[in-house]
Structure 1
Amino acid sequence: MITTCTRKTLAAWLIAAWAGTAYPGMQAIGQTIPLETRSTALVLQADDKKNLQILYYGERLADAAGYAQVPQAYRQTAEYTGVLAAAYTPAGSRNLAEPAIAVPHADGNTSLDLRYVTHTTQEVAPQLA
């Protein structure tokens, strides 16, 4: 299945998933989540602490199982903050990079601690793939 989405759709979906409002299509933690067009793939993965990470972005692989091999094949290692590969880097907390998302709380604090909840995939607009 080819899954396509716009940046706005992806952003809304990720925020909904972290907020716990996404449609419950239960997926296991650690499972790769490929978002693909005919030639490109953005692959996400939730770690054991439910942080949603970018595992791969680039040319679409012929076999989706190959995405899980990317960290070993390219000797990718974790960095000490644990947020540089985040699908959306949150404001505050341990983030040292420019935040992709910040939500002001009642006290003015913008720190977030986003966690993966669940996801579903569906084919949308196949003519755009």
Structure 2
Amino acid sequence: MPSRHKPLPAWHKQRARELRATATDAESTLWHHLRSGQLDGLKFRRQHPMPPYILDFYCEAARLVVELDGSQHGEEVDAERTLSLEAQGVMVLRFWNDQVLRETVPVLEEIYRVAMERVVLLQGGR
């Protein structure tokens, strides 16, 4: 069966691996709760390549991107990235790193709520 995705350049794959290996505390905390379908069976990937970007977290079933922002991020760059991703048909949720660390449960509840709404929407309202 042919792949529906174009092959990624080697440098893109390598950069995603590097980002996985150097995760922030917030990324590690969130990944602990999202990995292995722990959020009601939703499968998330971390540092998922979606050219030209590498996404912090991605749920294909919900076409949902979860991005964590720290002090290194600029609002203008983030807004441009969000618009570009939305043009590809995905929704972007953004949280601050400290929000994930201090309010983990509410962050997970928001991710779950939005993901489930998106799954229903993408399945045609079933």
Q: TM-score, normalised by structure 2?
A: 0.25
Q: Quick check: which one's strand share is greater?
A: 2
Which structure is richer in relative contact order (CA contacts within 8 A, separation 6 or more)? 1
Flag the structure with larger Rg. 1
